[in-house]
Amino acid sequence: MDGWCDPAFRAVRDAFAENFEERGEVGAGVCVIVDGRTAVDLVGGWSDEARTRLWQPDTVVNVYSVGKAILALLVLQLVDRGEIGLDDPIASVWPEFAVGGKQTATLRHALCHQAGVPAIRQPMTDDHLWDWDRMVEALAATEAWWEPGTRHAYHTNTFGHLIGEVIRRVTGDRPGARLRTVTGPLEADVWFGVPLREQARCAEVIWAPAAPIGGLDRARLEGDALMSALAHLNPPGYSSIGLVNTSRWRSAEIPSTNGHATATGLARVYAGMLRYGELLSAELLGHASGVASRGWCPILNDDVSFGLGFTPTSSSRPLGPNPHSFGHFGTGGALGFADPDAGVAFGYVMNHVVPRWRSTRNQALINALYECL
């Protein structure tokens, strides 16, 4: 391991070490900022599957859905400035979206996964995945899977193009450029689209078990089963399968899925959110981090609660013991969150992906953190 740990937070350091010794960690970083002061900033392990390159303080890695909350922050800033309203129709800034029963879909619906487009219907290829305009054109043309606002289903991959295109229509900037206006002043190493010059410090993602690569048989599926399959596999590489460690994937802007970050970068963004007025107003952040939609999700196969782009703490996905914590998990266990009650900003990234959000590794770090507070 390398880095810094305040002696008062030694339990976090010990839990981080135990993740490698007992819980299968390969390479990772963890950062904790408390009341604006860095208490933990550690890295350890290997950035490649062959275990030839040590994980460095500036190693970035794909953090999957952790990026959804960062993307939500970017569009919520526009709401704070009055450039778009939460209850404005998406079509008010993106007219092409007003087809297929989506005319009433609002930004609020999009942020809490009620917009009705968790999957693109028309067949797409991975060549389309690299073409922002083609992806958002196909998303806009998709017939809603339900009447917007009447139910929710996790927009596991389309969330990035949906919210990202709203940002582009309002500001003229794609998410990657917009993100740099936030991360630059914070010196936060978080990216939607890693420049080629920075890719030498990307860690390899290691799936355990290896992610299956297979075709999608539409003829055998219907209803929510078809919707879920298309959400993950249309285009075939939308969830990163077979592409995640390629330069093209790292360079692309697929912000629901391919955000890259260090743990320190994530913690700095969440610490910025806790300095009310710097990134978001306290009123809007409080509203966005609470429960906006609750119920069964056919994509996640679970009863879940969604905020407006953030995941509120819950009994099934706890972010510490306090009731106002919010953030977002990523596939395999990557996590960024903030706890306003404790003044905590937390970032954890890793490259050994054990699918689904909760993991023994991130839970061990969270438990140890709260032992120290």
- Average pLDDT of the chain to the nearest whole number: 96
On the 0-12 / 13-18 / 19+ scale of CB atoms within 10 A, 50 is exposed
Angstrom distance (rounded) from CA 276 to CA 280: 6
pLDDT at 174 over 70: yes
Which residue in the block uniquely carries the two structure tokens 């704070």? 80
Pairing of strands 190-191, 311-312: unpaired
Coil vs helix vs strand at 238: coil
197 burial type by CB count under 10 A (0-12 exposed, 13-18 middle, 19+ buried): exposed
Q: Where does the pLDDT of residue 113 fall: very low under 50, low under 70, confident under 90, or very high at 90 and above?
A: very high
Domains of the chain: 70-175+206-249 (3.40.710.10)
> What's the predicted TM-score (pTM) here?
0.97
Q: What percent of the chain stands above pLDDT 90?
A: 94
Residue 68 clears pLDDT 90, i.e. is over it:
yes
Q: How far apart, in whole angstroms, are the C-alpha atoms of residue 1 and residue 57?
A: 10
Residue 203 near residue 59 (C-beta atoms within 8 A): yes
In the structure, what pLDDT confidence band is assigned to residue 354 with cuts at 50, 70 and 90? confident
The torsion region of residue 110 among left (phi > 0), alpha (psi -120 to 50) and beta comes to alpha
pLDDT in tens, 178-221: 999 999 999 999 999 999 999 999 999 999 777 666 667 787 88
What are the tens digits of pLDDT across the range 23-41?
Answer: 999 999 999 999 999 999 9
Render pLDDT for 121-130 as a digit per residue (tens, 0 to 9).
999 999 999 9
Contact call for residues 126 and 235 (beta carbons, < 8 A): yes
The DSSP letter of residue 213 is: -
236: left (phi over 0), alpha (psi -120 to 50) or beta: alpha
